[in-house]
Structure 1
Amino acid sequence: MGGTPRYPYPRDVWSPAGGWWPHPRAWRRNTAVAAFGLVLVLTPIFIYSERISERPEDAARQIPWRPWVKVRANSMTSETEPGQH
């Protein structure tokens, strides 16, 4: 009954994403391995980048994603406040 197949798509389809209905085996493990590989490769690159980076002057305020950056001691006080010399 019906005259047409249930899914009128080619039976054998190749694509990088896995075809019409992809069900890759062990996708969670593969994703975890890929994420671990990225962390393993990108961590030394980040560390090297931070080691060679230079700032012409200290930051005026704390940078949230860079807690190790030095902050100027007098950055929060104004030069015109009483008691300052």
Structure 2
Amino acid sequence: MGGGGKIPYPKHVWSPAGGWYAQPANWKSNTIIAGAVMAAIVAVTWNFSAERETWARRPEPGGWYPSRNWSRQLKEYDAEDRANEAAKKA
């Protein structure tokens, strides 16, 4: 019935990616290694960025900013605010 036969494709094709319909035997370990390398690059970049992050002005107290969890400058601001509040109460 219609549709024709299988799609013709070259039998002997070489490419860095593995050629037509490639399924290397070690694809799972290669995927894990590539994922680990990408995660390491992201972690190093994140750490580099977080160490150098600065704020032009002091953020509003109590406001939520995602970088409050890792920015050294915001952690110092929060510690100063808590110390000032404790000094006012005492």
* TM-score tier (shorter): 0.5 to 0.7
More helix by share: 2
1:63 aligns with 2:65: yes
Q: Distance in 1 between matches of 2:53 and 2:45?
A: 12
Partner of 1:18: 18
The two structures have a TM-score, normalised by structure 2, of: 0.56
Structure 2 unaligned residues grouped into runs of 5+: 82-90
Q: Which amino acid in 1 is paired with 2:24?
A: P
| 4+ aligned runs moved over 6 Å, structure 1 | none
Separation in 1 of the partners of 2:9 and 2:44? 47
Tell me the amino acid that sits aligned with residue 35 of structure 1: G
Match of 1:28 in 2: 28
> Larger RCO: Structure 1 or Structure 2 (Cα < 8 Å, ≥ 6 residues apart)?
2
| SS at structure 1 position matched to 2:10 | coil
| Structure 1, unaligned runs of 5 or more | 74-85
Q: Number of matched residues?
A: 68
Give aligned-pair identity as a percent.
26
Deviations 1:64-84 (A, max 9, x none): 4x34254887xxxxxxxxxxx
